[in-house]
A and B are shown apart, each in its own frame.
Chain A
Amino acid sequence: MEPLVQFFYILLPFLRDWPEWLALTVIGIVAALLMFGFVAIFALFAIWLERKVSAHMQDRIGPMEVGGWHGWAQTIADTIKLLVKEDIVPENADRILFKLAPAIVFTAALAGFAVLPWTQDFIPADLNVGLLYILSVSSFAVIGILMGGWASNNKWSLYGAMRSASQMVSYEIPVALALLAVVMNAGTLSMRHLVMAQSGNILDWNVFNFFPLTAVAFIIYFVASLAEVNRTPFDLPEGESELVGGFHTEYSGMRFAFFFLGEYANMYVVSAIATTVFLGGWLPPFEFLSFIPGPIWFVGKAMTMVFIQMWLRWTLPRLRVDQLMYTCWKVLTPFSFAIILLIGLWKVI
């Protein structure tokens, strides 16, 4: 039985008396709503945090007015503004594709949440190919972006979408290879088993495995995942200073909000993968800290990774297109291949 279903049966024993199909449907819907709620709240928090981090890194203080304490309600106000705005579709746009694109981008981001292991017991779907699933689903977002850029019938959007396609497709490779280095050792693709294989203290985490090989793999994964989710310094698809807004130039209101939500959900997903695969998931760094529940560790580690993403964003300028491709094909890819080879040799010898 799925760990999630067991978890719910323990939590709510009366579900056992229900017919199985009904119980499963209810559990599925509740889990999906939980995930959606988490994404929405996370995005609200992360956007506020991003504005605060960026402000303080530039010696400003950022939003201070809405909600009282340090403008905590600013993003809520912004969301309400976006929701009540007019939904504009350009006259010459391909209406169906235009309207579908944000939904696809957001769905791809949300689908990644299906296999994130929050604790040993709470994982929406414990697939035995969890990592493979999450990689394939997250690359689905590129279709949405390409669709949005094409359907907008705008040169900036199309440029952004084309860049996004080339970038995301290229960076899939180092992402997959860097994760493969770990999977080779763990011998499983299930997110849950990947974490369970790292139990122990901080030195048993995969980052410190085969030191320094997996640490380098971790850095490669992190850099490539930044490009995967179109974050600065790899935000060429948006490139507001050159492409107006990239693929979402023509989007406004609700649909723009969904692109944004998708971007922030993706940030969390890639950070959560890094946490699961390299940083020991829900496990505490030391045995004596295990009284703190797993989800707090998991979210805490993922939030730290999200913070580092923001930190990098406000440190580095945007790369040029050729530098982007150079970094991917001539640096990250060869290095990840080398790491796979070296880990293989280490295991054999």
Chain B
Amino acid sequence: MKQYFKNIYEAIATILVGMGVTWRHLFTRAVTVQYPHVKRELPERSRMQLFVDMDDCIGCMQCQRACPVDCIDIKTIRAGKEEDLGEAGNGTKKKLHVVQFYIDMAKCCYCADCVFPCPTGAIRMTPEYEFITYDRSSLLINFSQYSDEERAALEERERKEKEAQAAAKAARLKAAEEAKKTAAAQKDESKSE
């Protein structure tokens, strides 16, 4: 019987305590943020969308090699001897045309492993996180500043250079062979004499 009244008393008392708590919270400031209107400042070094500053990129492909999910795809073309591509921000000379620099943000796992090996600090994580699209293919971003025509021209030039090199090499090889043959013939001649 005593327990019965004690239970009732406790029920009422605890309900009143609970109501006091909710009453206090009715007037405390909301902790939520009205997201699209108000944006919370992200912490320093937060890892969101990747960005590549192509003025700094020297096309060394360190980031592509570091990427654990293969979301970076770079293609480079060697610059000609008389061409000057300028320097990266830290003074490293640029020797390669970076004709393709794909980053697939749909694959990216935001590990930032590509950021640390970069010798010039060209690739970095930005605090930009609103990049949803209606199509997955739009998440494939090409950072390269070369247009399709420029790229085609460079590729054409490289192909020709390679052909020329191959031709030169073949010529060199042939010449060497000839020289060998003539040397051998001369040897034979001298022996028979």
Interface of A toward B, CB cutoff 8 Å = 53, 55-61, 64, 311-312, 314-316, 330-331
B15 touches A316 (CB 8 A): yes
A315 touches B26 (CB 8 A): no
A59 touches B8 (CB 8 A): no
Nearest residue, chain B, Cβ from A330: B4
Shortest C-beta distance, A160 to chain B (Å), equals 25
Q: A59-B31, A61-B30, A61-B32 are in contact. Are A311 and B25 (CB under 8 A)?
A: no
Nearest residue, chain B, Cβ from A57: B22
Chain A residues positioned under 8 Å from B29 (CB to CB): 59
A53 touches B34 (CB 8 A): no
A57 touches B30 (CB 8 A): no
Chain B residues positioned under 8 Å from A315 (CB to CB): 15, 18-19, 21-22
Chain A residues positioned under 8 Å from B23 (CB to CB): 311
Flag whether B133 is at the interface (Cβ < 8 A).
no
Chain A residues positioned under 8 Å from B3 (CB to CB): none
Chain A residues positioned under 8 Å from B32 (CB to CB): 59-61
Report the tally of A-B residue pairs with Cβ distances under 8 A.
38
- Interface hits, B4-30 → A, CB 8 Å: 4, 8, 15, 18-19, 21-23, 25-30
A57 touches B8 (CB 8 A): no
Which bucket holds chain B's interface residue count? Answer: 10 to 19
Q: Which of B19, B26, B28 has the most CB of A within 10 A?
A: B26
Task: Scan B31-71; emit 1 where CB is below 8 A from any A CB, else 0.
Answer: 11010000000000000000000000000000000000000
Nearest residue, chain B, Cβ from A65: B34
Chain B residues positioned under 8 Å from A58 (CB to CB): 25
Q: A61-B32, A64-B34 are in contact. Are A316 and B18 (CB under 8 A)?
A: yes
**C-alpha gap A285/B26 in the complex (Å):** 27
**C-alpha gap A171/B8 in the complex (Å):** 18
**C-alpha gap A58/B26 in the complex (Å):** 8
Q: A315-B15, A316-B15 are in contact. Are A59 and B21 (CB under 8 A)?
A: no
Chain A residues positioned under 8 Å from B19 (CB to CB): 311-312, 315
Chain A residues positioned under 8 Å from B21 (CB to CB): 315
A311 touches B22 (CB 8 A): yes
Q: A311-B23, A331-B8 are in contact. Are A59 and B18 (CB under 8 A)?
A: no
The 3 closest A-B pairs by CB, nearest first: A61-B30, A315-B18, A315-B22
A60 touches B30 (CB 8 A): yes
Nearest residue, chain B, Cβ from A59: B31
A59 touches B22 (CB 8 A): no
A59 touches B30 (CB 8 A): yes
Select B25's contact among A59, A312, A316, beta carbons within 8 Å: A59
Shortest C-beta distance, B102 to chain A (Å), equals 38
Chain B residues positioned under 8 Å from A314 (CB to CB): 22
A56 touches B18 (CB 8 A): no
A56 touches B34 (CB 8 A): no
Nearest residue, chain B, Cβ from A312: B19
**C-alpha gap A118/B27 in the complex (Å):** 32
Shortest C-beta distance, A69 to chain B (Å), equals 14
Chain B residues positioned under 8 Å from A330 (CB to CB): 4
Q: List 30 A-B contacts (CB under 8 A).
A: A53-B26, A55-B30, A56-B25, A56-B26, A56-B27, A56-B30, A57-B22, A57-B26, A58-B25, A59-B25, A59-B29, A59-B30, A59-B32, A60-B30, A61-B32, A64-B34, A311-B19, A311-B22, A311-B23, A312-B15, A314-B22, A315-B15, A315-B18, A315-B19, A315-B21, A315-B22, A316-B15, A316-B18, A330-B4, A331-B8
Chain A residues positioned under 8 Å from B18 (CB to CB): 315-316
Chain A residues positioned under 8 Å from B34 (CB to CB): 61, 64
Nearest residue, chain A, Cβ from B36: A65
Nearest residue, chain B, Cβ from A331: B8
Chain A residues positioned under 8 Å from B27 (CB to CB): 56
Chain B residues positioned under 8 Å from A57 (CB to CB): 22, 25-26
**C-alpha gap A57/B30 in the complex (Å):** 9
Q: Which of A56, A64, A312, A330 has the most CB of B within 10 A?
A: A56
**C-alpha gap A70/B108 in the complex (Å):** 39
Chain B residues positioned under 8 Å from A331 (CB to CB): 8
Shortest C-beta distance, A28 to chain B (Å), equals 42
Nearest residue, chain A, Cβ from B34: A64
Chain A residues positioned under 8 Å from B8 (CB to CB): 331
Nearest residue, chain A, Cβ from B30: A61
**C-alpha gap A311/B4 in the complex (Å):** 26
Shortest C-beta distance, B17 to chain A (Å), equals 9
**C-alpha gap A53/B30 in the complex (Å):** 12
**C-alpha gap A144/B18 in the complex (Å):** 34
Chain A residues positioned under 8 Å from B28 (CB to CB): 59
**C-alpha gap A64/B33 in the complex (Å):** 11
Chain A residues positioned under 8 Å from B31 (CB to CB): 59-60
